[in-house]
């Protein structure tokens, strides 16, 4: 089996016809007569054949040729990654691919770079924030941040934590669109959006009293905040581990409030008209 023409077109389209590593444009006009050349390849992350670079024998042929296992590279990078699978591991390639798809989206989103305009942070989803910072190539000066798995009960307290995380927040400038101005044709998984609007809150108060045992996908129980935009309900689960302070918990369980922040779209349920997002940052908007 080879990669189908349809899957190749999917990969070219999603990649914006650019190499996932060097971003070189891969469709080039060769002459005045309008002859075009393709300067890239749809490349396999796990090899197509057993024994090839990064081969994974458990994958079926269909999985190997699925867009999830494919990405777009210039001819040079295709050769380099396949000649050096020990350097270009599957994890490394996934990072390149994820960063590239995010970059393409950012270019197309017609958004402005996001700047933190949050005055007071209620919620900081540290792992997602660090992941975004890494994808965007931001320096993370304080390596201790990677080892924090809960900020709600940090031994040192809120102030030292904010002191080390603030430079990360201030250096992260993804291209974003505003949730309120999104047309649904623009909403896609992986899109980063900023928000500054009224939300309803649900379920957090109970969790803060009774304890949290993880999300179970049931919105009647999972703590979350939600807001309506263009006929769709944007739902953002709130994991109590990433609440900054007790006061933050009060704000996010008070029934409603105006919140400002940044989220990433996780999934879209077109039938229910729900867009499930991971909030990266939620806070109190600056108003002056
Ligand atoms: Zn390249």
CA 157 / ligand 1 centre spacing (Å): 45
* Residues 208 and 249: beta-carbon distance below 8 Å: yes
In this structure, are strands 175-178 and 118-124 parallel, antiparallel, or unpaired?
unpaired
CA 219 / ligand 1 centre spacing (Å): 43
Q: Write out the residue limits of the CATH 2.40.50.110 domain(s) in the chain.
A: 113-285
CA 79 / ligand 1 centre spacing (Å): 10
- What does the alpha-carbon distance between residue 142 and residue 138 come to, in Å, rounded to a whole number? 12
CA 76 / ligand 1 centre spacing (Å): 6
User: Does the pTM of the predicted model rise above 0.95?
Assistant: no
Percent of the chain predicted with pLDDT > 70:
95
CA 211 / ligand 1 centre spacing (Å): 49
* Residues 126 and 152: beta-carbon distance below 8 Å: no
| Contacts of residue 156, Cβ cutoff 8 Å, sequence gap at least 6 | none
Amino acid 170: pLDDT: 85
Q: So what CATH class is 113-285?
A: mainly beta
Average of pLDDT values for 205-226? 92
238 three-class SS? coil
Length of the chain in terms of residues written: 288
CA 20 / ligand 1 centre spacing (Å): 7
What phi, psi does 67 have (nearest 5°)? -50, -25
Average of pLDDT values for 173-197? 80
> What residues pair up with 275 in beta bridges, in sequence order?
234, 268
- Residues 265, 267, 268, CA angle at the centre, nearest 5°? 105
In this structure, are strands 274-285 and 232-237 parallel, antiparallel, or unpaired?
parallel
* Residues 26 and 17: beta-carbon distance below 8 Å: yes
CA 18 / ligand 1 centre spacing (Å): 8
Question: In terms of Cα–Cα distance, which of 100, 96, 276, 277 is closest to 192?
Answer: 277
Question: In terms of Cα–Cα distance, which of 121, 153, 127, 150 is closest to 140?
Answer: 127
Amino acid 183: pLDDT: 67
CA 74 / ligand 1 centre spacing (Å): 4
CA 69 / ligand 1 centre spacing (Å): 18
What does the radius of gyration of the chain's CA atoms come to, in whole angstroms? 21
CA 272 / ligand 1 centre spacing (Å): 41
Residue 213 φ/ψ region, left for φ over 0, alpha for ψ in the -120 to 50 degree band, beta for the rest: alpha
64 three-class SS? helix
CA 256 / ligand 1 centre spacing (Å): 48
CA 80 / ligand 1 centre spacing (Å): 9
Tell me the pLDDT band of 52, cut-offs 50, 70 and 90: very high
Amino acid 1: pLDDT: 67
* Residues 284 and 120: beta-carbon distance below 8 Å: yes
CA 25 / ligand 1 centre spacing (Å): 9
In this structure, are strands 175-178 and 192-202 parallel, antiparallel, or unpaired?
parallel
Is pLDDT above 90 for 152? no
Tell me the pLDDT band of 4, cut-offs 50, 70 and 90: very high
Interior/surface letters 52-66, b for 16+ CB within 10 angstroms, e for the rest: ebbeeeebeeeebbe
CA 98 / ligand 1 centre spacing (Å): 15
CA 110 / ligand 1 centre spacing (Å): 24
CA 3 / ligand 1 centre spacing (Å): 21
CA 200 / ligand 1 centre spacing (Å): 45
* Residues 204 and 252: beta-carbon distance below 8 Å: yes
Average of pLDDT values for 152-177? 82
Amino acid 127: pLDDT: 92
Longest dimension (CA), the chain: 71
């Amino acid at each position: 089996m080879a990669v189908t023409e349809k899957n190749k077109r999917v990969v070219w389209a999603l990649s914006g016809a650019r190499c996932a590593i060097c971003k070189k444009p891969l469709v080039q006009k060769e002459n005045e007569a309008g002859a075009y050349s393709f300067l890239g390849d749809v490349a396999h992350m796990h090899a197509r054949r057993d024994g090839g670079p990064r081969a994974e024998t458990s994958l079926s042929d269909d999985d190997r040729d699925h867009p999830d296992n494919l990405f777009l590279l210039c001819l040079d990078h295709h050769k380099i990654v396949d000649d050096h699978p020990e350097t270009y591991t599957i994890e490394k390639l996934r990072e390149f691919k994820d960063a590239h798809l995010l970059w393409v989206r950012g270019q197309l989103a017609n958004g402005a770079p996001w700047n933190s305009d949050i005055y007071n942070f209620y919620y900081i989803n540290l792992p997602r924030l660090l992941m975004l910072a890494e994808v965007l190539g931001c320096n993370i000066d304080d390596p201790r941040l990677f080892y924090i798995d809960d900020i709600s009960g940090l031994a040192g307290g809120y102030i030292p934590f904010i002191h080390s995380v603030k430079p990360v927040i201030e250096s992260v400038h993804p291209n974003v669109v505003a949730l309120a101005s999104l047309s649904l044709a623009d909403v896609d998984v992986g899109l980063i959006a900023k928000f500054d609007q009224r939300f309803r809150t649900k379920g957090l108060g109970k969790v803060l009293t009774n304890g949290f045992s993880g999300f179970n996908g049931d919105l009647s129980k999972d703590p979350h905040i939600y807001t309506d935009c263009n006929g769709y309900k944007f739902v953002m689960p709130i994991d109590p581990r990433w609440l900054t302070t007790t006061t933050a918990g009060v704000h996010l369980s008070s029934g409603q409030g105006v919140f400002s922040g940044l989220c990433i779209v996780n999934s879209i349920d077109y039938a229910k008209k729900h867009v499930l997002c991971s909030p990266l940052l939620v806070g109190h908007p600056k108003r002056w």
